[in-house]
Amino acid sequence: MKKVFISIPMNGRPEGEIVMEIQEITNYIRNTFDEDIDVIHSLWTPQPNKSYPNPSVYYLGNALIRMGRCDTVVFAKGWKEARGCRIEEQVAIEYGLDRLYVDESSPVLCVYGIA
């Protein structure tokens, strides 16, 4: 079974919009690959308590823990502008994870990359 992590910009976006994009990418991936896919994302990470001076680092750390369970990472539209997604891409490169990218210029969902 292929385990796929979705790296998606979240800062400043409504949860409903993020959920819809995750579902669209999930459906595309499941319909494209000829194998069972387990999709993992980091949308529902528990809120950090007040002892965390930088919540962004807390969320990134949780995302990297989830990404560590995967062999492929899909980068959603806008990932290049999102600091956390850029860090996730660097980790994927450094640790040899397969990488797929949503085509920013395509009007329909299209994924390309190194898999």
The answer to whether 41 and 5 are in contact (CB under 8 A) is: yes
Radius of gyration of the chain, Cα coordinates, nearest whole angstrom: 14
Residue 67 main-chain phi, psi, to 5 deg:
-65, -30
The count of domains in the chain is 1
Q: What is the pLDDT of residues 61-100, one digit of tens each?
A: 999 999 999 999 999 999 999 999 999 999 999 999 999 9
Amino acid at 46: P
CATH number of the CATH domain containing 68: 3.40.50.450
Q: Provide the domain limits for residue 103.
A: 2-114
What is the overall mean pLDDT for the chain? 87
Share of the chain above pLDDT 70, in %: 90
25 vs 48: which has the higher pLDDT: 25
